[in-house]
Structure 1
């Protein structure tokens, strides 16, 4: 009977340690991804500002033409899709054309602005719109990075995140077999109902494991003595 209890304690302890490790690893992975996003956005804005300043150095207001830095233009164009995708809603706006002749909803600011330099249709409004959305996104990612860094120091957050990943395992399996697309995985994991259910499930599992250990306090103490001495 004691041997069975020892085995149960060992399984519970290994399970909780695994959950903590998974949670910590997931948070660290998120932190690294946020830093990569921040660094890329900072670089994109820096290249955009340099390119724009060079363009306006020899700007002809009559022909609306400036000097094109072809190397930077190619870099900005190649990375425009990546940048626009990262911006999400921050990179969209309702665009109103000249003299209010037309209106475009969900206008992709970066994607639509870069080609305007070469087409001689660029305006100060276009340039400022790109810079503003990049700055807003930088602020968002900086805040998320700070919050994520704090979470890296909190074992309770590791536990919470670990349980979330554990209960997300069936979703990952379906995704791996191609039944659920990547976009759906993200939507499910960010869903309020899913997070509430995983939170309740994690709490119940944690309490159940704790009760099992506490109920057999004598055996638990004996187990640790046996383990370390």
Structure 2
């Protein structure tokens, strides 16, 4: 069985077909190799949920690594849980409904799955989207206090400042590419003090074209990771031809 076949799949359940489709599309932009299926609306295409549609999505999204379900409202959650109960024992054991926020949870889960995370890691990533971390509550007093008192990079570490040149800034697809590359290194990496392996924390920085990003690692062996990530930003994420004017 290939790596792709054992990755965790994701199912998006919403009372609105358009919402489910939109969340699937957004998460899919971050994780093109992950099976993400939407099950929105009732059987007639109106608002509601459809047991058969959710069941089909659960079957289609589970290719061996399990499936995580994100749902919007209480009855959508109940429909998903009921559909899971009707799966065979093996599939049922690797299906999970998350209470994470629909959009943020789906995006975080998709990136974790794209990075090769198992079901437990994907579940944890989805929950991190709404657990009160700086990425989920960047404007809270606690988050601001943490930002003010964040430790400096250790003297043995390495840092490099670069300018964001691609027109999207460090959002959405570029942020996902950055987080995926950062996850391939065993060292800790930060972007302007935020966790460089967390998509949501990177996106919360709001770095637009022309903004400066400091890539750093407190690890003495972090130079390779910092340079690779800084080079990725300077390259415009493969979109240099459409980079900001003058870059």
TM class by shorter chain equals under 0.3
Between structures 1 and 2, the one with greater strand share: 2
Between structures 1 and 2, the one with greater helix share: 1
Indicate the structure (1 or 2) with the bigger Cα radius of gyration: 1
TM-score (structure 1 length as normaliser): 0.24
TM-score (structure 2 length as normaliser): 0.23
